């Protein structure tokens, strides 16, 4: 029986890349040659330009614009209350609302009630847009993550006889979204808050926006625009978390009780106002310390940190000093919260035409 000749081992080619040699099988090399001869494939790159009109119709853009418009309209109406509240919180002038109102009229005229309102409008438009947009986005993301997490078995870790179940069911998406909204908007817009406070409290030293920017930068550089950022974040965290949690919880409970799908405009006004009142009352001492730190440098007696600011207030005015200006704050925050939510929901109804994406 004839024997087949032994098969010759196929010789592989080597391709060198720098200091590395790559072994290429002979079959692959022959396939590449035949493919290049029969059907060469052109190198094609395609770019697709996004449709700008479709982009503007997305839910995120609609929520962003709704927040900006709601914030601008609210601040335009309530600017005098913001001016009075800031003066009382930092201890400038009279200690009551009526006295502060009269002082402003006598010293600066009616336009004094809107002192710093230009920068306030520039501040509130991006602040409310970022804050409400972040809140909606994080809330949807957290809710979706919880639903997906609950559909599958949660990861478990066993340590001896103890089983640890990693579950997201105990986390409130609204609370996480509220905290994230406050932190992100504060980091983005804090310099505008510093400018607004300087223009409001010391109009003689900072008569215009351009002078305020140049003087603050000359005195402290870029870091001066972030004066008091730590206490601001500390104060914003409980306020923002409580504010959004109370609004969503009250809205949901009220709709379930009345067997309704959504609130009407007056109900949004009341629910938003109560949420703002609760959040402001809880976090107001931190707001007092924050304002002291932000404008203390102007008066030449800036406390070194938030704890020192709180101790200074208690030493000078007692525990009641922690709530000095609380009435003026509620007078501003309560209607502001209610009006903001009412305008925000109204603008969402206008800009987000397709109700299904809500």
Instruction: Tell me the per-residue pLDDT of 195-220, one tens digit each, with 9 for 90 and over.
Output: 877 877 777 888 888 888 898 888 88
What is the pLDDT at residue 166?
63
The domain in which residue 262 lies consists of: 228-324
Q: How high is the mean pLDDT of the chain?
A: 77
Residue 181 covered by a domain: no
Domains identified in the chain, total number = 1
Residue 125 covered by a domain: no
Residue 301 covered by a domain: yes
Residue 117 covered by a domain: no
Q: For the segment 290-335, what is each residue's pLDDT rounded down to a tens digit?
A: 777 766 655 556 666 777 778 888 888 888 888 887 877 787 789 9
What is the pLDDT at residue 345?
92
Residue 112 covered by a domain: no
Comparing 313 with 191, the larger pLDDT belongs to 191
Residue 348 covered by a domain: no
The mean pLDDT of 72-78, rounded to a whole number, is: 85
- The torsion angle over the Cα atoms of residues 158, 159, 164 and 166, rounded to 10 degrees, is -70
Residue 29 covered by a domain: no
Comparing 45 with 179, the larger pLDDT belongs to 179
Task: With a cut of 80, say whether residue 67 has pLDDT above it.
Answer: yes
DSSP one-letter string for 72-124: HHHHHHHHHHHHHHHHHHTT-S-SSHHHHHHHHHHHH-GGGGGTTHHHHHHHH
What is the pLDDT at residue 156?
66
Task: With a cut of 60, say whether residue 250 has pLDDT above it.
Answer: yes
What is the pLDDT at residue 176?
92
What is the pLDDT at residue 225?
87
Residue 286 covered by a domain: yes
């Amino acid at each position: 029986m004839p024997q087949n000749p032994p098969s010759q081992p196929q010789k592989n080619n080597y391709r060198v890349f720098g200091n590395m040699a790559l072994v290429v099988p002979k079959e692959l090399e022959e396939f590449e040659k035949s493919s290049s001869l029969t059907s060469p494939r052109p190198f094609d790159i395609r770019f697709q330009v996004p449709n700008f009109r479709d982009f503007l119709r997305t839910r995120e853009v609609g929520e962003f614009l709704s927040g900006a418009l709601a914030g601008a309209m609210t601040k335009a109406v309530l600017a005098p209350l913001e001016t009075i509240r800031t003066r009382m919180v930092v201890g400038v002038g009279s200690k009551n609302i009526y006295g502060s109102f009269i002082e402003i009229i006598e010293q600066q005229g009616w336009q004094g009630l809107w002192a710093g309102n230009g920068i306030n409008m520039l501040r509130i438009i991006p602040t409310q847009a970022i804050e409400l947009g972040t809140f909606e986005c994080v809330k949807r993301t957290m809710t979706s993550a919880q639903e997906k997490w609950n559909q599958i078995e949660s990861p478990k870790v066993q340590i001896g006889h103890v089983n640890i179940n990693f579950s997201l069911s105990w986390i409130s998406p609204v609370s996480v979204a509220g905290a994230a909204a406050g932190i992100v908007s504060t980091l983005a817009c804090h310099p505008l808050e510093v400018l607004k406070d300087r223009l409001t409290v010391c109009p003689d030293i900072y008569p215009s926006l351009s002078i305020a920017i140049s003087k603050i930068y000359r005195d402290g550089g870029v870091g001066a625009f972030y004066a008091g950022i730590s206490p601001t974040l500390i104060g914003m965290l409980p306020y923002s978390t409580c504010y959004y949690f109370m609004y969503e919880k009250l809205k949901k409970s009220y709709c379930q009780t009345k067997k309704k799908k959504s609130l009407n405009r007056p109900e949004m006004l009341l629910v938003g106002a109560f949420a703002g009142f609760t959040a402001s009352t809880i976090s107001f001492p931190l707001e007092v310390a924050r304002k002291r730190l932000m404008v203390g440098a102007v008066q030449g007696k800036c406390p070194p940190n938030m704890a020192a600011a709180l101790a200074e207030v208690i030493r000078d005015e007692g525990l009641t000093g922690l709530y000095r200006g609380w009435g003026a704050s509620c007078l501003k925050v309560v209607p502001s919260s209610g009006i903001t939510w009412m305008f925000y929901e109204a603008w969402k109804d206008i800009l987000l035409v397709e109700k299904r994406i809500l």
